Amino acid sequence: MKIALGSDHGGFELKEKIKKYLEERGISYHDFGTYNQESVDYPDFALQVAEAVRAGQYDRGILVCGTGIGVSIAANKVPGVRAALCHDVFSAKASREHNDANILTLGQRVVGPGLALEIVRVWLESEFTGGRHERRVRKITSIEQKYNL
């Protein structure tokens, strides 16, 4: 599995912890930045990660900002991206199993690092279950197509 990883300054510290977690487990990733805590604009990094996932260069993506909200909104503007903001393990699992989320977003100022890494673990280990959920994901795709002519 290959992961596209990105954050703004408000998510930099948690992104660094996630990088270490991925390295310890031998999970391949690319860090799209930011690379320090200087103020930057989160849409720039959300777009890079979302486009890389959409293009199939990476299997999934993880984005971090202060709340996880901004990067989620920005990433979800890219057709084919289903970015899920998760602050608990149940939502992380459901976002993969039911929604086939291909990007996880987290808020460094909302969730502590221990819980965040558990959310990442569960999200990476969970797979889309298909079935009745497939129909619903297709409906999401048709909404995208309606507005992205």
| Interatomic CA distance for residues 49 and 86, integer angstroms | 17
**How is residue 78 written in tokens?**
């890219």
Give the Cα separation of 34 and 94 in Å (integer).
29
* Identified catalytic residue from 9, 86, 87, 98: 98
133 catalytically annotated? no
Distance CA 133, CA 128 (A): 8
Instruction: Read off the tokens for 115.
Output: 């819980």
Which of 9, 65, 86, 133 is catalytic? The answer is: 65
Active site residue 86: no
Cis peptide before 34 (omega within 30 of 0): yes
Residues classed as catalytic: 65, 98
